[in-house]
Structure 1
């Protein structure tokens, strides 16, 4: 199939908005997980994402501690 055989794009692409599933959290839900391809995807911010590795948990803990003391780390 050639690109010239396709019809022109007539509508703009849809942007899906998904926010963290944690109650009272309004952060962008950029970490999603679905139990199967048939199930719907649940979304969380990184702080509330329940499937983090041990290393990811340690980095998050260090960043949260630094934020409490007013330090800014990347």
Structure 2
């Protein structure tokens, strides 16, 4: 199917807004997880995402420590 065969949009696409489910956190919830298609997806910011790998946890810890010192880590 080519782009010319597609019908024109009749309305603007909807944007889904997910915020972190951690109580008191107002960050964007860009990290979602669901145990099955039948279960609604839960959303967290990266800091509160409970399914991080060990390596991701270490990088987050280093970034938070650097932020406390006022330095930046890329």
Gaps of 5+ in 2: none
1:71 alignment counterpart: 71
Q: How many residues align?
A: 73
**Could you tell me the TM-score, scaled by structure 2's length?**
0.91
Hey, what's the Cα distance between the residues in 2 that align with 1:50 and 1:71? 26
Runs of 4 or more above 4 Å deviation = none
1:51 Cα deviation after fit: 0.3
Gaps of 5+ in 1: none
Hey, what's the Cα distance between the residues in 1 that align with 2:13 and 2:65? 40
Q: What does residue range 1-74 of structure 1 map to in structure 2 within 5 Å?
A: 3-4=4-5, 6-74=6-74
1:33-54: CA deviations, max 9, x gaps? 0010111000000000000000
**How large is the RMSD of aligned CA atoms in angstroms?**
1.3
**Could you tell me the TM-score, scaled by structure 1's length?**
0.91
Partner SS for 2:32: strand
